[in-house]
Amino acid sequence: MRIGIGYDVHKLVDDRPLILGGITIPYPKGLLGHSDADVLTHAIMDSMLGALALGDIGKHFPDTDLKYKNISSIKLLYYVNNLIINKGYTIGNIDSIIIAQEPKIFPYIDKMRNCISKTLNIDIDLISIKATTEEGLGFTGRKEGISSKSICLLNKKIE
């Protein structure tokens, strides 16, 4: 059994779609980043990679590599999952949280869980996504950005 933690943050800007957990959420701003800047999926990938001491997403998908420019983070999640499988592990569960003052995330949580579970080819009940605000405090409270945290439990495959 291995446990990893992940964290990501991106700035909110005009003229970008807001993508969280592989889902486009209607909002006047989106997250700035080299890829689609999906903070939830980035945090999940980092927690998976961290559980096996495989570095972070910057190591695997550097922002200096043009092949990752505007790429869907769901595609990157699929790649990370294959790394985990090839190391002989399966996902026990993922618990994550999105920190954002706006927009309200709750209406999209089931769609995000479904997208991630399909990408990872695991039961949706193994994925928890929660959302919170910071009561107007900090950069997320001032609506300057969105952050996400994730923890992942990996189990060694029994053969």
pLDDT (0 to 100) of residue 31: 97
pLDDT at 7 over 80: yes
Give the domain extent around 44: 2-156
| Mean local confidence (pLDDT), 3-10 | 98
- The percentage of the chain sitting over the pLDDT mark of 70, rounded to a whole number, equals 99
Question: Residue 61: which CATH number?
Answer: 3.30.1330.50
- The percentage of the chain sitting over the pLDDT mark of 90, rounded to a whole number, equals 94
Beta bridge partners of 93: 153
Rounded Cα distance, 58 and 99, in Å: 21
Of residues 159 and 24, the one with the higher pLDDT is: 24
Rounded Cα distance, 76 and 159, in Å: 27
The pTM is what?
A: 0.95
Annotated binding site for a divalent metal cation: which residue ranges?
8, 10, 42
Question: What angle in degrees, to the nearest 10, is found between the helix axes of 39-51 and 73-86?
Answer: 10
Of residues 48 and 136, the one with the higher pLDDT is: 48
Mean pLDDT of the chain: 96
Tell me: the pLDDT tens digits for 80-127?
999 999 999 999 999 999 999 999 999 999 999 999 999 999 999 999
Tell me: the pLDDT tens digits for 33-83?
999 999 999 999 999 999 999 999 999 998 898 999 999 999 999 999 999
pLDDT at 159 over 80: no
Number of domains in the chain: 1
Q: Which burial class, exposed, middle or buried, applies to 150 when counting CB atoms under 10 A from its CB (0-12, 13-18, 19+)?
A: buried
pLDDT (0 to 100) of residue 158: 82
Annotated binding site: which residue ranges?
8-10, 34-35, 42, 56-58, 61-65, 132-135, 139, 142
